Structure 1
């Protein structure tokens, strides 16, 4: 084994160890994950400087997909190339994937409609999404123009229910953002250096768009369940702007109306996903396992995260040029505002109408919301409290 091979192996082992530690301890959602990453990779390890880390976060906020996972992949790539990105992803993601797949197996055979603690988890989902909406609205819709874009997205998502509604809303919001915000000033920043060629990046982007086009066609002409499953998760992972919570309405519309999973099982898994560390996109592992066992769980995980891989590796070499374009930045502001409206629509349906069924549900949800937002208790404590409270309420 040469010195360079030993050095690469050492780096990959180090990346996997640190990312696994983060995957086991990073509770609190994508914003919290970015804080954990900053503390570990920037402050302790000094793998990146402050401005380079901010640069990478900006890129991942721009791309669709799970922002915190993409930041982790990007750091792995910058540290040890493509293998570094894969190892960083596996370490950060596997703990929650395994936990949610096990939960799906435990849930099978249970009557979720009559289980009190399951209903408590559904109320937890209401609380978590409400917190996400408040935080995102404050940041992404600070002025009247962006509030209006969010309102348009909310109304459109609730009124028109089909596969292409959200894509159309995102595109329309990007155009409006381009018109209103293309003159916004962009802060000066530093250049990101990554060990990837532009040729490799082009290949990743070609694969990303090819799968987005070809998979729905294959789904229609073959009627093969595995292709349909892969297509649904891949498309959901490709079209999400704003983080894990926004994937909820996409996944709900893919799997609940088709009968692949009941609304109760869907919301139960979403509540359980709040209790585990790591990225919320691992909710797909739960859905895939409920639908088609452990093979479905692994396929769903691969499909929903593959777009994040292809996009971050395809975009990193070009980001320095792209992000200096004020027109692109303006379109992004419009898209981010639309994310708030889409999330509000998901908050109403299916989350609120399927979870808050009585005054005592609303009262209990208010208590959980206060524990999470005002008392600042860790999310896992709120989840356990929700499950216990739901069980106790069922005894009344």
Structure 2
């Protein structure tokens, strides 16, 4: 009984700590990792700095939201598989609630033509450009990787589709395998976690099975919730590069198919910048716009489920993979293609749906400067962007 009580207390402790972070972690994945270090390592001493760095390295190798995966991993180390789930709930639910409420307000009050909605689209342009520059500096530091990025962007602009993105990522990985192995790190820190290889293989098998079965079921069914689950599960399984890459991946799935308009899509993306927690909770807004609160729950579970399955599958094996130069080379190529995909998305739908006048462009430039040069936090950029939108409206 005492052991069960201690485990329950540990889960409550994880929930309270992660919920605190869920309400306060503004600023995107890099900022989230700083918040995690302050709370989990410096304050609570749950891990040492080396273990924390190893966890971050592991999660950078996986598709999906890196900061969420780090939080889930810390929860698993602290409280087992259930601890990982509790950690995710605390960190994610606050922003889920806010985005669901925003979507319901958008539908109820017909906010499509509201000034603040257009302002949020301009905010999205500034934030995506900031993310694009930051990722480009980190992931395309040399001419070969810049070339991969530019080719990926060109192909995406000429042949926009979700499947084309997958082909680009696969092709870039093969190029990385051939050309980038000599750039791999020679010494990689070892990593250990108490998850059996059998459980890891089972988790991987579940992920692969769902990726195959869900599209087949969706084709023979007209159930809207199955369609939502299929779309968001596939996106959560294949998005490399973090939350901002969700933008083009999901946009190609929902806007051309008429599930949302481009305006509705970008309004939600702009609003997602204003809330703390992972950007993948953008799915909660989209699900609500498609099928109400139930759609939000289905979309949110679907997009985050691959993160759980991938972490459980990867951790028992990733220590060995990280030592292989071939694996590091593949990831270098993949990451370069991600920059190109984001560059294409910056033009369409971001710029094409948000910048309609010189005043819009001027506001976007100001917001980008505040974000990129003066390091103003993203949540404040949202507030300034909305206020600036109303100022532009008054003087126009």
Q: Distance in 2 between matches of 1:351 and 1:267?
A: 7
Query: Following TM superposition, by how much is the alpha carbon of 1:171 offset from its aligned partner in structure 2, in angstroms?
Result: 0.3
Preserved contact between residue 106 and residue 112 of structure 2 (Cα < 8 Å): no
Preserved contact between residue 288 and residue 296 of structure 1 (Cα < 8 Å): yes
* Aligned ranges 1:219-238 → 2 under 5 Å: 219-238=218-237
The answer for the alignment partner of 2:344 in structure 1 is: 345
* Aligned ranges 1:78-93 → 2 under 5 Å: 78-93=77-92
Q: Distance in 2 between matches of 1:185 and 1:213?
A: 33
Q: Distance in 1 between matches of 2:40 and 2:168?
A: 36
**CA deviation map 1:243-265 (0-9, x unaligned):** 00001011111111111111111
**Range moving further from structure 2, 50-59 or 99-108:** 50-59
Q: Distance in 2 between matches of 1:7 and 1:113?
A: 50
**CA deviation map 1:86-145 (0-9, x unaligned):** 000000000000010011111113444421111100000000001001111111111001
The answer for the alignment partner of 1:330 in structure 2 is: 329
Q: Distance in 2 between matches of 1:174 and 1:110?
A: 46
TM-score w.r.t. the length of structure 2 is 0.97
Preserved contact between residue 183 and residue 327 of structure 1 (Cα < 8 Å): no
Query: Following TM superposition, by how much is the alpha carbon of 1:367 offset from its aligned partner in structure 2, in angstroms?
Result: 1.1
**Range moving further from structure 2, 365-374 or 188-197:** 188-197
* Aligned ranges 1:121-270 → 2 under 5 Å: 121-270=120-269
Q: Distance in 2 between matches of 1:200 and 1:14?
A: 26
Q: Distance in 2 between matches of 1:122 and 1:174?
A: 32
Q: Distance in 1 between matches of 2:339 and 2:45?
A: 34
Preserved contact between residue 65 and residue 237 of structure 1 (Cα < 8 Å): yes
Q: Distance in 1 between matches of 2:291 and 2:116?
A: 24
The answer for the alignment partner of 1:66 in structure 2 is: 65
Q: Distance in 2 between matches of 1:202 and 1:114?
A: 50
Preserved contact between residue 116 and residue 392 of structure 1 (Cα < 8 Å): no
Structure 1: gaps (5+ residues) = none
Q: Distance in 1 between matches of 2:363 and 2:268?
A: 19
Q: Distance in 2 between matches of 1:113 and 1:290?
A: 12
- What value does the CA root-mean-square deviation take over the aligned residues? 1.2
Q: Distance in 2 between matches of 1:128 and 1:197?
A: 40
**CA deviation map 1:10-42 (0-9, x unaligned):** 211111111111111000001111111112222
Preserved contact between residue 41 and residue 49 of structure 2 (Cα < 8 Å): yes
The answer for the alignment partner of 1:393 in structure 2 is: 392
The answer for the alignment partner of 1:53 in structure 2 is: 52
Q: Does the alignment pair 1:277 with 2:259?
A: no
Preserved contact between residue 120 and residue 387 of structure 1 (Cα < 8 Å): yes
The answer for the alignment partner of 1:367 in structure 2 is: 366
Query: Following TM superposition, by how much is the alpha carbon of 1:393 offset from its aligned partner in structure 2, in angstroms?
Result: 2.3
Q: Distance in 1 between matches of 2:108 and 2:270?
A: 18
**CA deviation map 1:268-318 (0-9, x unaligned):** 000000000000000000000111111001111000000111001111111
**Range moving further from structure 2, 179-188 or 166-175:** 179-188
TM-score w.r.t. the length of structure 1 is 0.97
Q: Does the alignment pair 1:20 with 2:10?
A: no
The answer for the alignment partner of 1:291 in structure 2 is: 290
Structure 2: gaps (5+ residues) = none
The answer for the alignment partner of 1:6 in structure 2 is: 5
Q: Distance in 2 between matches of 1:126 and 1:161?
A: 19
* Aligned ranges 1:25-40 → 2 under 5 Å: 25-40=24-39
